[in-house]
Structure 1
């Protein structure tokens, strides 16, 4: 969620990568509450001003560090419907239970009320995934496997909510059996 660049010399992508790596390391080492832009800048070998040119606030930097675009690149849909849903549940669980995300989530959730753009960015990042899932649900509905009213956004909200609660209450409970149970609930919920 890097902010658009204005006129001037091109940005050095090494600074962005160093800052993201520093933020990830520091989140795991000191946690969200003790993380500062100054600490990230120091670890990344840059300045706070350089970071603020790239991210409008610390929560924006933390969000991008904890949930990089790469998380959404390997979605494969089109197999059996339950297998597709299981892949989405497991991928979400794995993203939320990474050490960096687990350290960032409580702080980011608290920041949503003061940074509405961050909240919007979180859900807009999943827009492409929601569109792909809606396409998959349409195909499933045409094949008689799903109700025509099955909504990717509803399924994502339920799945993300279950994963978030699990991370906050006890990430050790989010095992493969949990993923199977959540998948069964979602699959049963969209069947005709």
Structure 2
């Protein structure tokens, strides 16, 4: 039996660091954000931050994309309804000021560091691998979707379309990714994966 002789981690530091990252991102952007600034803003130290997160990217990813009720898979009773709700939630998360500030830097870092990319995807693995895969298997049994469509395929379609729309539609993206856009995109995705 292993015994931990160190001090227990203070969950208030985790919360303060995550809040500090979100607050600072909206003012400085990702490139100018430093772990030192996050630590100072959170009232803690850089070593305390690095004990919790291996890099700025890991911390920012967790701060901007928390796993909470919004990441629970919707269950509307139909695949089209589920896709519509997943799109709505994706738009809501990606259009926050912190996400808009973080995305360019996170994308650049993930593109050049495949281990970072893999580590960040692990955070959402349970949601995707089990929940969404099971949902797609049920939809395939009902004849709503082709059986070869995977959770990763659907996730890439949802996130990819939304991300590209964010990058190409300018500063008023939240207004243009409205219910009409969500309905049109839901139809595009569901028809694309339909049996």
Assess same fold via TM > 0.5. yes
Could you tell me the TM-score, scaled by structure 1's length? 0.89
Q: Which residue of 1 aligns with 2:102?
A: 104
C-alpha deviation, 1:25, in angstroms:
0.2
Deviations 1:95-149 (A, max 9, x none): 1111111111101011114433321133223322323222122212222222222
Between stretches 72-81 and 154-163, larger displacement belongs to 72-81
Equivalences for residues 57-96 of structure 1 within 5 A: 57-70=55-68, 72-77=70-75, 79-96=77-94
Deviations 1:58-102 (A, max 9, x none): 111111111111165432225122101101111111111111111
Tell me the distance in 2 between the aligned counterparts of 1:158 and 1:112.
Answer: 18
Equivalences for residues 8-157 of structure 1 within 5 A: 8-70=6-68, 72-77=70-75, 79-130=77-128, 131-157=130-156
Distance change in 2, residues 1:37/1:182 (3 Å): same
Native 8 Å contact 2:72 2:127 kept in 1: no
Computed over aligned residues only, the root mean square deviation of the Cα atoms, in angstroms, reads 1.8
SS at match of 2:68: helix
Tell me the distance in 2 between the aligned counterparts of 1:62 and 1:50.
Answer: 15
Between stretches 48-57 and 107-116, larger displacement belongs to 107-116
Native 8 Å contact 1:141 1:147 kept in 2: yes
Tell me the distance in 2 between the aligned counterparts of 1:31 and 1:190.
Answer: 37
Tell me the distance in 2 between the aligned counterparts of 1:7 and 1:74.
Answer: 36
Q: Which residue of 2 aligns with 1:190?
A: 193
C-alpha deviation, 1:166, in angstroms:
1.7
Native 8 Å contact 2:26 2:97 kept in 1: yes
C-alpha deviation, 1:19, in angstroms:
0.7
Native 8 Å contact 2:58 2:120 kept in 1: no
How many residues align? The count is 187
SS at match of 1:144: coil
Tell me the distance in 1 between the aligned counterparts of 2:140 and 2:112.
Answer: 40
Between stretches 123-132 and 161-170, larger displacement belongs to 123-132
Could you tell me the TM-score, scaled by structure 2's length? 0.88
